[in-house]
Structure 1
Amino acid sequence: MNLSKQLGVSAQRYHEKPAYIFNDRPTSYAEFDSAVTKFASGLNQLGVSRGDHVALLLGNSPHFLISLYGALRLGATVIPINPIYTPDEIGYIINNGDVKAVIALDLLIPLLEKMEQQIAMVEHVIACETPKGAQAALDVTSLSIYPKLKSFTRLLEQPSPSFKEDTDVQEDDIAVILYTSGTTGKPKGAMLTHKNLYSNAKDTAEYLAMNEDDRIITTLPMFHVFCLTVALNAPLMSGATMIIMPQFSPAEVFEIAKKHRATVFAGVPTMYNFLLQYPEGEPEDLNSFRLCISGGASMPVALLNHFEQKFNVRISEGYGLSEASPVTCFNPLDRPRKPGSIGTSINNVENKIVNPLGVEVSVGEVGELIVRGPNVMKGYYKMPEDTEHTLIDGWLYTGDLARMDDEGYFYIVDRKKDMIIVGGYNVYPREVEEVLYNHTGIVEAAVVGVPDPDLGEAVHCYIVKKDLTLTEEDILEYCQDHLAKYKIPSNIFFLEELPKNTTGKILRRALKKQIGV
């Protein structure tokens, strides 16, 4: 079984039920499944076949859903790309990923035109029509890329009557290549098989008790693995309805939740902070929620508690990474939720904490989190050495420091590379950030380590404050009451906002860049 076949099963079972709602227009499972087959047929007529690589430069929209499942139905490999990446970033992924066809918003055609020489190997550029794009009155016939240009709408309108789904697609075939953010160099393409994605969607859906009565707000970026599994594949597998938001907006989340009686919301901690700080957000707006899901970054306990107290809804924090499709842990629904914990291993996935020699450590001891299961990637595309360093004896080494309690709940301590060593003592940025988030005058905080001639490294912190009268002295005095001396920040910087990526995750590396580290 794979995601494309499962969609066919869902279409038979839930026929007229909405698979998704976009701009208040519902599309049934039957309509969606039919569009997927038509698009797969259109790609096939262009010469795209099983094993070919298709890149998606799309935001949250039906275009993304149909393109993704259409390519998978054909047996092609999908490479989702953040549409706001720079030309260099997009060009690197297209070239490194050996892309044959690009499916992009029509607004991005001028960008791709400028990159025409850089992406010469691309045979087809399929433009997805948007109202704003149509109004741009771009004379595409004058573009050098014009011979490669195709219309998404026309591909859907002209399916081949003889097209049949490729039934030879194997579970170990590569379904999606997800390029990591490249924090330690060039992005690496994690190869996820049909088995990886199907198993993780199925196990996540079961663990979170997703069902046909659920209505999930899908506002996380679809090109990101968190959304791909938790707010897209798992709901479709369960017969649920996605309420698609093109981009995150606190006002629209409250409006959509109330209008459509949404039952599930998935977001990163920053989104929850924005919802909490939104002055017009009322608890009754979210009273249809049965569950909120948090991932993508560790959620400060103070934020979790304040959100739950205000809106009377449970947040289940989990953990995942691109290389694991991505989910490995979630706080269970049938047992106590532990604030600060990423929960327990989901069905069919093993998590373990080991020392530098790969030996499992004792309960409560900090070590590296490693993962094993049907969700773990095949490897990095064209990077055998990186694959060898990350996949060892069937285990995926995550690079995250964690500990496990005596009830099997895991706690992320920090990234190995983010740990700060001050005079020989380990300082984990998250523990300092947790203290800062408990201060009533602070909205957001981030902590990084910087070189120090005397102590090796020093703690620097960046703060967005709610109380404008708050001073550096106030923060230091507060930290002295709550942190050991070596953990107290040596420098405090106040910013209007913290740098974040497109999913809302705070970028510590961007903060380091500001000070030349």
Structure 2
Amino acid sequence: MNLSQRLVETASEFKGKPAYYFMDQPTSYAEFNGAVNKFASELEVLGVKKGDHIALLLGNTPHYVIALYGAMRVGATVIPVNPIYTPDEIGYILNNGDVKVVVMLDMLVPLAEKMHGHLPKVEHFILCETEADKGEQELSSLSVYTKMKSFTKMIATGNPVYNGPELQDDDVAIILYTSGTTGKPKGAMLTHKNLYSNARDVGVYLEMSDQDRVVTTLPMFHVFCLTVALNGPLTQGATLLIVPKFSPAEIIRLVKKFEATVFAGVPTMYNFLFQHEGTTKEDLQSLRLCISGGASLPVALLENFEKKFNVMISEGYGLSEASPVTCFNPLDRPRKAGSIGPSIVNVENKVVNELGEEVPVGQPGELIVRGPNVMKGYYQMPEETEATIKDGWLYTGDIATMDEDGYFTIVDRKKDMILVGGYNVYPREVEEVLYAHPEVIETAVLGVPDPNFGESIKCFVVKRSKDVTEEALLAYCKEHLAKYKIPSSIEFIEELPKNTTGKILRRALKDQVLQNN
């Protein structure tokens, strides 16, 4: 079984039921599957063969979902790309990923015109029309014009009945380029088995059904959305409420209008919803479940959100290399605040020391994972693959603990750990204390060079009131933290830098500190 095949089954079972809403307009499962067939058949006409690579430079639109499933149906490998990356970042991925076809928003035509001479392997640019017709004459003056195709025309002329080549479990379905916090991004190769098993297992674990309406506002090019808010729900016959861009007001409107039952977001989104002026428990009363991932959710925010809106947040954990989900707080057992929960079905997690030996309960170590969701490897990077996957186990680079009930807690990223005078300090434990202060909206903690202790702790804080001072927050930290964990300085900032999924970018803050010093 794979995602493309499962969609055929779901479309047969739920023909007239909405697969998704976009701009409040429904598209049925039968219509969605027909559009997938049309796009796949037209890709074949363009010369796309099984194993070819297709990049998607798209935001949250039906174009993305149709192109994703259409590319998989023709047997191609999909490479999702953040459309707001710089030309250099996009160019690296397209060239490194041996991309043959690029599916992109029409507003990116200037980018295609600028870049196509540096992309010798790209044969076609498929434009997804979102604006008024640019006019054939305007486009025909471009040097990239001969490589351009219209998404709309492909859907209009494609074959609604299309089977495509036979797909094997081990065929690579998607290559996800990691954020590249240490050097150039690496392409994690996820097979059809990886993606389908994780989507199915997450859907079942979170008790998704054809009665669910899932708010899909996380970026579709990101693996969290891909499995939890897109593929997982679709395997169960649920309906997606596609949101082009996160906005607290728009989320509340959609939840109320369509009686949404599931919301998936990163901690920043929960913070914005919680802080949004005028929101009440009634605004989100149809939700049966909220899902958090992408970064650790501060316990204070989790508890405040649940108390205000009377809805449970299930925090989980995943990474691109694992398709991504490995853990989730369960729905049929107690949820533990601050924990990422136990292993989901069919996936194993354990905590090990530097020698790869499992550590005792409660002791921190590196979290490692194995299961049908673990990637095939990094694209054209055998050495990096060997360093990451050892004896079938994926080494995540995250520090975690496991309790006596098998619940895991992420302490921090291995690379983010701060060494203060020989003592290990994990940014998250300092951040948890600051988030509990009523005047703190957001915070990020990092280590900075210190001539006496090797590193010291610096905090960036977005505050609620202009009256709160650094001295007051440092005094608060002294009440709740061991001496070596107390920040050496706190800097107030208007807004924390974030990536497109809302994850706080500690690296950008560290670069800022180093520049100022």
TM-score using structure 2 length: 0.98
Q: Residue 53 of structure 1 contacts residue 77 of structure 1 at CA under 8 Å; is this kept in 2?
A: yes
Q: Which amino acid aligns with 1:380?
A: Y
C-alpha distance in structure 1 between counterparts of 2:321 and 2:39, whole Å: 28
Q: Which residues of 2 match residues 113-132 of structure 1 at below 5 A?
A: 113-131=113-131
Counterpart residue number, 1:330: 328
Q: Give the secondary structure class of the aligned counterpart of 1:370.
A: strand
Equivalent runs, 1:366-515 vs 2, <5 Å: 366-515=364-513
> Aligned to 1:139, what secondary structure does the other structure show?
helix
What residue is the counterpart of 1:207 in the other structure?
A: 205
Q: How far apart are residue 112 of structure 1 and its match?
A: 1.2
Shift of 1:160: 4.6
- Which SS does the other structure have where 1:382 is aligned? coil
Q: Secondary structure at the residue paired with 1:44?
A: helix
Aligned residue among 176, 179, 183 for 1:178: 176
**Which residue of the partner structure matches residue 104 of structure 1?**
104
Distance 1:128 1:138, change over 3 A: farther
Q: Distance in 1 between matches of 2:56 and 2:165?
A: 23
Give the aligned residue type for 2:282: E
Inter-CA distance 138–509: structure 2 relative to 1 (3 Å threshold) = farther
Tell me the equivalent position of 1:353: 351
Instruction: Classify the secondary structure of the residue corresponding to 1:396.
Output: strand
Deviates more, 1:96-105 or 1:117-126: 117-126
Per-residue deviation, 1:134: 3.1
Aligned to 1:25: 25
What's the CA shift for 1:119?
1.2
2:156 is matched with 157
Per-residue CA deviations over 1:401-430 (Å, capped at 9, x if unaligned) read: 000000000000000000001000010000
C-alpha contact 1:251 1:281 (8 A) present in aligned 2 = no
* TM-score (ref. length: structure 1): 0.98
Aligned to 1:75: 75
Aligned equivalents of 1:125 and 1:380: distance in 2? 26
Unpaired runs of at least 5, structure 2: none
Name 1:281's counterpart in structure 2. 279
Paired residues for 1:300-311 under 5 Å: 300-311=298-309
Mapped to 1, the partners of 2:444 and 2:135 lie a distance apart of: 41
Secondary structure of 1:115's counterpart equals helix
| Displacement of 1:169 | 1.2
User: Which whole-Å deviations, capped at 9, do the CAs of 1:322-347 have from their partners, x for residues lacking one?
Assistant: 00000000000000000000001001
State the one-letter code of the partner of 2:152.
T
Matched with 2:87 is 87
Match of 1:39 in 2: 39
Task: Supply the AA of the counterpart residue of 1:169.
Answer: L
Is there any run of 5+ residues in structure 1 with no aligned partner, and where?
none
Q: CA deviation at 1:395?
A: 0.2
1:45–1:160: 8 Å Cα contact kept in structure 2?
A: no
In structure 1, what is the Cα distance between the partners aligned to 2:136 and 2:501? 31
Count of residue pairs the alignment pairs up: 515
Residue type of the alignment partner of 1:172: D
Paired residue type of 2:220: M
State the Cα distance separating 1:313 from its structure 2 match.
0.2
Which amino acid counterpart does residue 24 of structure 1 have in structure 2?
D
Structure 1 CA distance for aligned equivalents of residues 334 and 166 of structure 2: 44
CA distance in 2 between partners of 1:84 and 1:119 (Å): 18
Structure 1 residue 136: Cα displacement: 8.9
Give the Cα separation in 1 of the matches to 2:75 and 2:116: 27
Letter of the 2:506 counterpart: R
| Per-residue CA distance 1:124-166 (angstroms, 9 max, x = gap) | 00000012x53699811111101000000111111258x7423
Say which SS state the counterpart of residue 9 (structure 1) adopts: helix
| 1:120 Cα deviation from its structure 2 partner | 2.4
Q: Distance in 2 between matches of 1:343 and 1:401?
A: 15
TM alignment of 1:232-311, pairs within 5 A: 232-311=230-309
Distance in 1 (alpha carbons) for counterparts of 2:105 and 2:458: 41
CA-CA distance at 1:260 after TM superposition = 0.5
Q: State yes or no: 1:55 paired with 2:68.
A: no
CA distance in 2, matches of 1:372, 1:389: 15
- Tell me, in whole angstroms, the C-alpha distance in 1 between the residues paired with 2:232 and 2:133: 33
The aligned counterpart of 1:140 is 139
Residue type at the aligned position of 2:406: G
Post-superposition Cα deviations, 1:35-64, rounded to whole Å, max 9, x if no partner, equal: 000000010000011000000000000000
**SS of the counterpart of 2:315?**
strand
SS where residue 121 of structure 1 aligns?
A: coil
- Superposed CA deviations along residues 257-311 of structure 1, whole A, max 9, x for unmatched, are 0000000000000000000000122210100000000000000000000000000
On the 8 A contact 2:39/2:67 being kept in 1, the answer is yes
Give, in whole Å, the separation in 1 of the partners of 2:165 and 2:150: 27
**Aligned-pair CA distance for 1:515:** 1.1
Give CA deviations for 1:408-453 in whole Å, capped at 9, x if unaligned.
0000000000000100001000000000000000000000001111
Counterpart amino acid of residue 99 in structure 2 = V
Root-mean-square deviation (Å): 1.1
Q: Which amino acid aligns with 2:59?
A: G
In 2, the alpha carbon distance for the partners of 1:68 and 1:404 equals 37
Identical amino acids, percent of aligned pairs: 68
> How many Å separate the matches in 1 of 2:202 and 2:479?
41
Contact 2:50 2:165 in 1 (8 A): no
